[in-house]
Amino acid sequence: MSADDVRKLHSKFGIYDECGHKHTDEEYEREDSGVVDVEGVGLTCEEGLVQWVCHECDTVDGEPDEYTEYGEWPCRTLKELEKP
């Protein structure tokens, strides 16, 4: 596996909560709105972002892994990869 393959696996993944705004489907459909649809949360925006984590280290099947404490971004794997 190449370094580029590792970087693709260990990508940034947002953990979101409700933002407190009443976003519309029309906002969500606009690419530049910053509105995302999060399962279990609904429509939210960057103000609902709790933290960035690693997709490979901190998710299972594309969902946050509730059984691990969330790591950091960038993750330890990427930090090691970037060392000289």
Q: Taking all residues of the chain, what is their mean pLDDT, rounded to a whole number?
A: 90
Rounded to the nearest 10 degrees, how much is the dihedral formed by the CA atoms of 26, 20, 34, 77?
Answer: -140
* pLDDT tens digits, 55-74: 998 888 877 877 666 678 99
Biggest CA–CA distance in the chain, Å, is: 46
The pLDDT of residue 31 is 92
Predicted pLDDT at 70: 67
| Mean pLDDT, rounded, for 26-50 | 95
Rounded to an integer, the average pLDDT of 12-24 is 95
